[in-house]
Structure 1
Amino acid sequence: MTAIKFAWSAVGGDPALVSRVSTVVREGALPGRLPVRELARACVGACALAAAELGARRAGLAAVPAVQVDDGAVATAFHSERHLLVDGRAPVSFAPLSRLWPTADGWVRTHANYPHHRARLLGALGVSEDAEAVGAALAERTSAEVEESVTAAGGLAVALRTPEEWAAHEQGAEVARRPLVERARLDDAPARVLPPTGTSPLLPAAGLRVLDLTRVLAGPVATRTLALLGADVLRLDPPHLPELPDQHADTGFGKRSALLDLAADRSVFEELLATADVVVTGYRPGTLDRFGLSAPALAERRPGIVVAQVSAWGAYGPWARRRGFDSLVQAASGIAAIEGPKRAPGALPAQALDHGTGYLLAAGVLRALTEQSRDGGSRLVRLALARTAEWLVNGLPAGPRGDVTCDGPGPWLAERDCTLGRLRHALSPVSFAGGPGDWARPPTNWGSDPAGWA
């Protein structure tokens, strides 16, 4: 339980409540050289306990409901994008140019799933869209040269580093100095009294309105979890940045999806903000500030708001404004070097930085709502994939062997029909006595809903 205690403490939880958590430890769940299973279990456990705590407060229960964290359910959820089937078709997780490549002096990791990122990568290398040509161009350059030139062009490429090299890097050192979860009170707004909820099922976030301005993957995982717990989650995307359909299908459960140009339709956003309880953002730090979406600006216009922010590298250091994804953070932070066989780099058994950070972000939001309902104040919760990586590499011991074996997704998959087709999907691992077992609604088509509350 050491890892769960640490994660729970990171979101400001009462240490005494950890006794409400039990675990089903399964051998073989999320196997790796690093303690991925322990990280995943801790993040989900903290989230489930935060949900149970808020649910008990809103329902007037005498005790916080018991929480169970099952490694099988956690491992299945951390592979949700792999388990997804749309009318029997398995999605493609990574595009051909999103991979590790050898360079003149080492390795580099690229990310080119989105068309605009692929175009910038190819432009920086001066080649056509051909994997052989890309490989040849990369082999002629050093990893540092590739990282800087592609980044300067607005693309995504990161040189592979060892843990020691990352610790010596200015960004790595800055990340290591930060708390796992940054939490702040923004003002002295009065406590917002949350209306009582029922108990069948117990929905801690029932009636709460969440503006979801996130993309890929940690932010959508967090808001998907808040939707499971009863929140009215409205995801807003700019019309000029289409989402990958399968990615939307995996992370859109329980939400509605609308398109909104923040510059042209500012009045619409302000109307939504006026009655929102939570705003979650997943763009690079500072990107949305010009629209008045910094945490202080949001709190000034909507006192009592909870602002949750997630980024790849953190809102500090020389890489604060850089784009990033789970796979790139794995390469930069030394994870890929640790997980690789001998001379070649490897990867974690799941996109655990994304999923783990997503559940921690949801936990931070739920705890902020609990604290706010008692003590008032607008709240800020901020996480970074790179800080979660730091915890995985340097702060987490491996746990004991399990009494049972993880034999696969088992009972943690479900099927349902929706406008996207017949979906097979992973169930949420966030489980507590009386809580929901599945989302109330499947995902809708991307951008198909009106930009208004339900």
Structure 2
Amino acid sequence: MTDIAFAWTALGGDPALLSRVTTAELPGTLAARLPVRRLARACVGACALAAAELGARRTGRAEVPGVRVDDGAVAAAFHSERLLRVNGRAPDSFAPLSRFWRTADGWVRTHANYPHHRARLLDALGLPADAAPAAVAALLAERTALGTEELVHAAGGLAVALRTPHQWRATGQAGQVAARPLVERATLGAAPVRALPRLDPADAPLLPAAGVRVLDLTRVLAGPVATRTLALLGADVLRLDPPRLPELPDQHADTGFGKRSATLDLATRRDAFEELLAGADVLVTGYRPGALDRFGLSPEALAERHPALVVAQVSAWGAYGPWGGRRGFDSLVQAATGIAVTEGSAEEPGVLPAQALDHGTGYLLAAAVLRALTERSYDGAGRSVRLALARTAHWLTDEEPYDAPKTGGPGAGASAEADDAAAPQVLPDARLAEADGPLGRLRHALSPVRFAGGPTHWTRPPAPWGSDRAAWL
């Protein structure tokens, strides 16, 4: 059931609070064969309700503020990276090597937006660093899809074979994903109640996460969407990146609202990082499972050192199963799980109308953090929450298709531009705003997370990547 009740239950929320949610439906937004609009509405609604619940807890109000979910605002937010304008310029879209390719026996989807991923892809294929898309196409046309998937994965690159829903369900990873809850939740170490300051009910806007310190170790796109939402709600969000791994500029501009951005080498500055952890309420990570464990950042290791910490993790495939250690992105998950076939066909794969797995999972991740903070306010214990794009995909595909069927798909196999840069079906200009800042004049989507008395805008525009100190305010 792709609705807010399912999401709210997965988050451990009180079913009685669902009566506080109303929706403003707008047919035509996020139209697809799968119930994308319902999933998007559910993820945003659950996040807004979690924010309202925490706000009521911190102000001492008996009644949780009312939540309103507007389909138009949700659609705009789910297209935020496409609607962004920087000094009037449209953002860079998917790189030329990030697309579907025909193989000798089907299709394979690659992701090479980052320079290091492009380099690994070309190295795996035995092509020079300046290879053109035509050279890649000619080579892959002679290879099998599954063979390419394994070859590129072994080289640390990103490629998945196109699978039908039936083929995906036959994999060991699909069985592992289906066996997990939508939101994995666990209680970690116990500590004295870490009370957040009480909020004045008369303050406007109500910022449920005011005073919450969030360490943001995430990249593309679900994690940054979650921490961008926490920043809107008043959290002090400090994003940390490795000094030698800069973020894509337009992506940083889109997801950097309300945050500070710093660089820190965890391998050489462990003391500085531990000092940040000691002052944090929340740690959000979005790297592939296990990648940060050597720095003592598994939930279990963190619970021993910081028992009141909320540890939130998001990954592509889940931290389990044969694909548990693999890298992945929304577009790859769509291809592997059968979504691309459902939205198009096995002969001509399609895509969802937005990167809905990323955005939806991001709002669920923010909701899980907010609910963990509410629960921690009662017992002082830290929490672990885990989400995966593949599990969100399982939720999306666990129903019959809906909406008006497409007649031919968007031609995703023919070119990257035809699918990934497609314009939103309904352009919701009323849900956009402009802000001036160090990155220039930005047109951006407003947050769809709304509740009575809550914030409508971020308090600060994005900062240049790595321009802030790695310290709490």
* Alignment TM-score, normalising by the size of structure 1: 0.97
8 Å CA contact 2:95–2:112 kept in 1: the answer is yes
State yes or no: 1:118 paired with 2:118.
yes
Aligned partner of 2:343 among 333, 339, 346: 339
Runs of 4+ in 1 over 6 A off after TM superposition: none
Question: What does residue 227 of structure 2 align with?
Answer: 223
Residue 268 of structure 1: which of 254, 268, 272 is its match?
272
> Match of 2:371?
367
AA partner of residue 381 (structure 1): V
1:447 paired residue number: 466
Which range moved further: 187-196 or 295-304?
187-196
Specify the SS of the correspondent of 1:431: coil
* Structural mapping, 1:10-89, within 5 Å: 10-89=10-89
Structure 1 residue 68 displacement after superposition: 0.2
Unaligned runs of 5+ in 1: 401-405
Instruction: Indicate the RMSD between aligned Cα atoms, in angstroms.
Output: 1.4
Counterpart of 1:152?
154
The answer to whether residue 198 in structure 2 is matched with residue 179 in structure 1 is no
AA matched with 1:140? E
Percentage identity across paired residues of the two chains = 74
1:267 Cα offset (Å): 0.9
SS in structure 2 at match of 1:42: helix
Q: Does 2:277 align with 1:258?
A: no
User: Is residue 311 from structure 1 mapped to residue 293 from structure 2 by the alignment?
Assistant: no
Structure 2 residue ranges without an equivalent (≥5): 405-424
Aligned-partner Cα distance in 2 for 1:318–1:341: 26
CA distance 1:342–1:264, shift in 2 (3 Å): closer
Alignment CA distance shift 1:32-1:363 (3 Å): same
- Does the CA-based 8 Å contact 1:38-1:399 persist in structure 2? no
Quote the offset at 1:165 in angstroms: 0.6
1:397 and 1:155 map into 2 onto residues whose CA distance is 32
Are the counterparts in 2 of residues 112 and 156 from structure 1 also a CA contact under 8 Å?
yes
Identify the residue that residue 414 of structure 1 maps to in structure 2: 433
Give the residue type in structure 2 aligned to 1:84: L
Q: Which amino acid aligns with 2:20?
A: R
Specify the code of the residue in structure 1 equivalent to 2:104.
Answer: A
- CA distance in structure 1 between the partners assigned to 2:97 and 2:300 by the alignment: 39
Question: 1:410 offset after TM fit, Å?
Answer: 3.0
SS at match of 1:254: coil
Secondary structure at the counterpart of residue 415 of structure 1: strand
Tell me the residue number matched to 1:428: 447
1:138 aligns with 2:157: no
Shift of 1:191: 2.4
Amino acid at match of 1:132: A
For residue 408 of structure 1, report the CA deviation from its aligned partner.
2.2
Residues 350-390 of structure 1 show CA distances to partners (whole Å, capped at 9, x for unaligned) of 00000000000000000000011012211000000000000
Answer yes or no: is the 8 Å Cα contact 2:31–2:403 preserved in 1: no
Deviation of 1:396 (Å): 7.7
Amino acid at match of 1:50: A
Alpha-carbon shift at residue 92 of structure 1 (Å)? 1.4
How has the CA–CA distance of structure 1 residues 107 and 431 changed in structure 2, closer, same or farther, with 3 Å as cutoff?
Answer: same
Q: Distance in 2 between matches of 1:274 and 1:399?
A: 49
Tell me by how many angstroms 1:62 deviates. 2.1
Paired letter, 2:439: L
In structure 2, the partner of 1:403 is none
Q: Does 1:357 align with 2:376?
A: no
Cα 1:342/1:384, change in 2 over 3 Å: closer
Instruction: Describe the SS at the equivalent of 2:198.
Output: coil
Write out aligned runs for 1:161-200 (5 A).
161-198=163-200, 199-200=203-204
Aligned residues between the structures: 449
Q: Tell me the SS of whatever aligns to 1:371.
A: helix
Residue 297 of structure 1 and its aligned partner are, at CA, apart by 1.4
Distance in 2 (CA, whole Å) between partners of 1:168 and 1:194 is 47
Q: What amino acid does structure 2 have at the position aligned with 1:204?
A: P
Amino acid paired to 1:304: A
Q: Deviations over 1:405-433 (max 9, x none)?
A: x8421311000110000100000000000
Measured in 1, the distance between the counterparts of 2:85 and 2:141 equals 36
Return closer, same or farther for 1:163/1:441 CA change in 2, 3 Å cut-off. same
